[in-house]
Structure 1
């Protein structure tokens, strides 16, 4: 009986964790389509996921918390733009990420850019709302900064 209860608790716990899991788009064109449909700005997370200590810390302390998940679902379309050293990426993703790094003038990681998307004469234009990086103080402090940036839109 104990094994059944323990198994049930484990399965239900796994399901609730998956329900909180956010989807991070890696293809910016797909994210732009979602942004247009939902009228939500993009949150572009520029990261070195497998080597950047501050990026890993931001993920752990903020981006993988229930508070962030709840906020993100209501406010933004998530886009991860990764610049790994050991993880494999397609050439298409590498080129896309390099181009976006230039467009937004990214000089260090982690950088989180908030941007609206405008289409004019078939061209995509990013309207930058603001940016941030790692903010000490956990999700509450980071979300206060993010909310301040989004209020400018």
Structure 2
């Protein structure tokens, strides 16, 4: 009986850990920038990349909660963009290390930074996500960015 109790506790603890690691990825978002650029080319869609510190950056945490995790946002934004989250969490050094080359390549100076790329991978807009702290404001900014890009 004691062994069964320990086994059950171990199983529940393992499930909690697995659940936590999956909970870090936002639904509807990719974490693979290279694949996103390939998909963008194939679908002729721009790419929205958010550089975030999900477990230490207060504006990043706020944006995730109020905007990026909202079904309304993901549904609307994914019609026009391939969504990518590149995280730099203090609690997961492997993820941080994996994404570090992108932060260097794109000269990220603060978080949460959003870069919009066209389907060829050329940057056409860059801003701090927290400048648009609601789903409505963020979607309006994305629409305006696309319209401005099309005029250029």
TM-score when normalising by structure 1: 0.72
The answer to whether the Cα contact below 8 Å between 1:55 and 1:134 also exists between their aligned partners in 2 is yes
Judging by fraction of residues, say which structure has more strand. 1
Matched residue, 1:36: 41
Matches within 5 A, 1:9-28: 22-28=27-33
Which blocks of at least 5 consecutive residues in structure 2 are unaligned? 1-25
Cα root mean square deviation, aligned:
1.9
Q: How far off its partner does 1:24 sit?
A: 1.7
Distance 1:144 1:26 in 2: 24
The answer to whether the Cα contact below 8 Å between 2:50 and 2:115 also exists between their aligned partners in 1 is yes
Deviations 1:25-60 (A, max 9, x none): 112111112111111111111000111110010111
Say which is worse superposed, 67-76 or 104-113, in terms of deviation: 67-76
Distance 2:132 2:35 in 1: 31
Deviations 1:132-153 (A, max 9, x none): 2213551111111111112214
The answer to whether the Cα contact below 8 Å between 1:26 and 1:81 also exists between their aligned partners in 2 is yes
Alignment partner of 1:135 out of 119, 131, 136: 131
Which blocks of at least 5 consecutive residues in structure 1 are unaligned? 1-20, 119-125
Matched residue, 1:144: 140
Matched residue, 1:80: 85
Count of aligned pairs: 123
Matches within 5 A, 1:71-110: 71-89=76-94, 94-95=97-98, 97-110=99-112
The answer to whether the Cα contact below 8 Å between 1:114 and 1:130 also exists between their aligned partners in 2 is yes
Judging by fraction of residues, say which structure has more helix. 2
